[in-house]
Amino acid sequence: MTKRIVLVLLYALIATIYSQQTTDNKQKNFAFIKPTDTPEQIIAKAANVVPTKQQYDWQKLEFIAFAHFGMNTFTNNEWGAGKEDEKPFNPTNFDARQWTRVYKNAGMRLAILTVKHHDGFCLWPSKYTEHSVKNSPWKNGKGDVVEEFVNACREYGLKVGLYLSPWDRNNPDYGDSPKYNDFFRNQLRELLTNYGEITEVWFDGANGEGPNGKKQIYDWQSYYKVIRELQPNAVVFGMAPDLRWVGTESGYGRETEWNVIPIDLSKLNEETTTSMKNPLDEIYQPKDLMGDNLGSREKILKANGLFWYPAETDVSIRPGWFYRASEDTMVKSPEKLVDIYFSSIGRNSVLLLNVPPDKRGLISDYDIKSLTEMKRILDKTFKNNLAANAIIKSSGMKKVFQKNLFDKNTYWSTDSTKISTELEFTLTSTKTFDVVMLQEEIRVGQRIEKFRLEYWDGKKWIKFVDGTTVGYKRLLRFEPVKAKRVKLVIKQSRTDPTLANFGLFKMQK
């Protein structure tokens, strides 16, 4: 029997290794595939595509808020026609600080406001349209929802996101593509110049007819240029190469979620991309990515390029996106929200939960009650990592850790020839658990394709759960297991796998 060896590595040494492997590498967020590349070379390239710093910082947010608020709140519409009078917009007790307190207390780290929905009504006094708060009775036309929202977010430590609908059913130039593109860029400049740092710019792809009966041709590349110029640290959702829609509005992501997926790079010159700041902006064409299989080996082996394109999973706490009093009794239960949490954040995506303010300009008590109870359940469940202080041994190790492989400055990996391996955790005592958490070090790539977990019953190893992709975070639930020894078997990986965090937890009520 091989003698068990546990290595305790000095923190400074680990920090140096970590720094070298995560910041000094030459990996990019895209990769060209040549016609001469073998399947093995393509898989290796996929394994070494990494997020940009902005994409990684965004992924770490995990749980973020959507605030659908505007003219639709007062007309009980989901999509306004754009012909509404400005007078109905008059929140009687508007308090953006209350919103951000609610979001913060629920565990959200960023909030996105619908500053202009499809009806074209603007929540800031834009100088490019009369269809805005400046012509509403709210604060005698002197109010600015965006300003108050942004200030409230910063007061409570939330990052800021802005939703600006490209479709504008009020603007007479919509459908006259050059004119409207100028208008839209001007509004972008207003928003990205006057309100400080913006972390996420949110576009959807809605594109209906304009007043002239024509459909608008959006100049996406010119929009990207405005954003990169004014907010270079922002990420752009939906119709840009930074973040993608998961494909449903249910709150449920894919069981297998790859961040690295195909992209057509045929219009880019590989040699010149090194001198370009945002080369993907030049060629990206928005499209829906709703299939079950986006980044499998089958898909990437047919591609001429790959890029890092993480998923955002959106859902509303209510049946609709804008507040309606008739839906007060239809708010998702805490248990449903917990299930969504596991099925979005726990499936390698960021959860964008819509919690819309009401006609008063406040978050409803119905929504607050459900969010508060959801947070209590999650806090209680994840309070104690039952794998903390476990003794760990590994096959084919590059690094192995006692107590915490879970230090933010460390991660585990095999040697470069090892694509399947095992990690055994001996817990401090026999524990009962029914939740597992795994995290890869995605700053060196997403690699794990198949894994399973087993426990030792005193005589043999017994499988209790398995999965496919891990990515930034994977959460799995299963029937309670009582054991002292647990084994993670990585059955298949695209190259040497990594593990940045591991946890065992007991689901609480």
Range 192-217 average pLDDT: 92
pLDDT score at 398: 52
Which of 55, 1, 6 shows the shortest CA–CA distance to 405?
6
Q: Which residue has the tokens 């595509």?
A: 49
Q: What is the average pLDDT score of the chain? A: 91
Instruction: Say which residue the tokens 């928005």 belong to.
Output: 286
pLDDT at 407 exceeding the cut of 60: yes
pLDDT one-digit tens code per residue, 49-76: 999 999 999 999 999 999 999 999 999 9
Mean pLDDT of 472-481: 98
Q: What local confidence, expressed as pLDDT, does residue 397 receive?
A: 52
pLDDT reading at 20 higher than 60: no
**In CATH, what is the architecture of 54-255+310-381?**
Alpha-Beta Barrel (3.20)
Q: What is the pLDDT of residue 418?
A: 73
Give helix then strand counts, H and E, for the chain.
12, 20
Report how far residue 80's alpha carbon sits from residue 311's, in angstroms, rounded to the nearest whole number. 28
Q: Average pLDDT of 373-380?
A: 98
Return d(Cα 189, Cα 193) in angstroms, integer.
6
| Share of residues in the chain with pLDDT > 90 (%) | 83
pLDDT over 80 (residue 208): yes
Residue 50 main-chain phi, psi, to 5 deg: -130, 160
Domain spans of the chain, in order of start = 11-32+384-505, 54-255+310-381
> In this predicted model, which residue has the larger pLDDT, 84 or 271?
84
Q: What is the pLDDT of residues 179-194, one digit of tens each?
A: 999 999 999 999 999 9
> Does 14 score more than 80 pLDDT?
no
Q: What is the mean pLDDT of residues 423-433?
A: 96
The pLDDT value given to residue 413: 84
Distance CA 508, CA 377 (A): 6
The lowest-confidence range among 35-49, 215-229, 387-401 is 387-401
| Span 351-359, average pLDDT | 98
Confidence of residue 9 (pLDDT cuts 50, 70, 90): very low
Between the alpha carbon of residue 79 and those of residues 116, 117, 121, 264, 339, the distances in Å are 11, 8, 11, 34, 29
* CATH architecture classification, 11-32+384-505: Sandwich (2.60)
- Mean pLDDT confidence for 303-313: 97
One DSSP character per residue, 406-460 reads -STT--EEB-TT-SSEEEEEEEEEEEEEEEEEEE--GGG---EEEEEEEEE-SSS
- Mean pLDDT over residues 26-50, rounded? 95
